[in-house]
Amino acid sequence: MGNPSFFTIFDLPDRRHISLFARRFSMATQKRPALGRGLGALIPTQSSTTPVSPAPSPTPSSAMPPSTVHRIALNRIEPNPDQPRHYFDDERLRELADSIKVHGVLQPLLVKRAGDHFQLLAGERRWRASKLAGLDVVPVLIEDVTDEKQLEIALIENLQREDLNAIEEARAYQSLVAKYKLTQEEVSQRVGRSRAAIANSLRLLRLPTTIQRDIESGLISAGHARAILSLESTEKQTRLHKMILADDLSVREAERMARALSETKTPALKPQKDIDPQIKALEDRLMEALGTVARLKPTSATMGRIEIAYNSLDELDRILMLIGVQEETV
């Protein structure tokens, strides 16, 4: 037959191949219900049964009916500037590129016209992998959508594939709220998440920048972030963040530590007057290492004592483990 297999898969009447395209997007989410109306509802289906041309050259824009698979030169496609996803795993991209070299692009990219070029709506990972694979043309579906709908499609695609980290997801929701004046309730209806889930996601953007950065990089999980968010003060949030990193706390351990921190006030160690800068520097290093308040109390030029504060017996156990004191077993 000569044509790549994706033409056989998608050479169907308009409503059928768009429906199939939407179902293929949802295959990765069989573990949970589809989000909102799904991509099928976001992509308008216009009546068209125009056959796909097997010619390798790009079809002129004027001859491109919507909702039909076309072959477009890769260098005419630009990434979506509002793409919620910012991190792409290089190793997985190379694996996908190797697969594309053998099998081709089996699922068309979704694009919209942008002058004499096209802008991605969905499929940036396939677009990047196609470039790595050295492809000249790729299969696409061309749709006419607003900028608001474009952001919705990109967000829902990534959510269905679970490709966004918690901060990227929160920023995408914030974009819908800020750029398009949507309420949290309207966002929840569009993406198929509860209003509480949207609100909790947006709360992540209130965390200190250092904590947000560690969520993005995967050093701490969204579960850890929720435990940190349960604390009201930035000081306690930062303390718990340091404890999670220093002690490799599980989410459950972080939640338990958050409860202990929220139930008790920071222990008050007597204020020191005229602290020697070297002693202050050592105290800061101790606090960094232990994740709690620590004080050095010199009693002479060569002697002194160390005071370490703890908020609960759990925190005491954690500190004792850090300094190598293990519980005796009978």
CA distance 145 to 167: 26
Contacting residues for 9 by C-beta, under 8 A, at least 6 apart: 20, 106
CA nearest neighbour of 247 among 329, 319, 147, 146: 319
> End-to-end CA distance of the chain, in Å?
78
DSSP 115: T
Residue 83 CB neighbour total at 10 angstroms: 19
Q: With contact defined as beta carbons under 8 Å apart, do 202 and 220 qualify?
A: no
- The CA-atom distances, in angstroms, between 71 and each of 16, 61, 116, 118, 130 are 19, 11, 15, 12, 13
Catalytic residue flag (residue 283): no
Long-range contacts of 199-204 (CB under 8 A, 24+ apart): 200/226, 200/229, 201/166, 201/169, 201/170, 201/173, 202/170, 202/173, 202/174, 202/177, 203/229, 204/166, 204/167, 204/170, 204/229
CA distance 12 to 9: 8
Please list, residue by residue across 8-35, b when 16 or more beta carbons sit within 10 angstroms of its beta carbon and e when fewer do: ebbebebeebbeebbeebbeeeeeeebb
CA distance 124 to 140: 12
Given the residues 95, 124, 157, 235, select the one marked as catalytic. 124
CA distance 70 to 50: 10
Crossing angle of helices 222-229 and 209-217, rounded to 10°? 160
Catalytic residues, by residue number, are 124
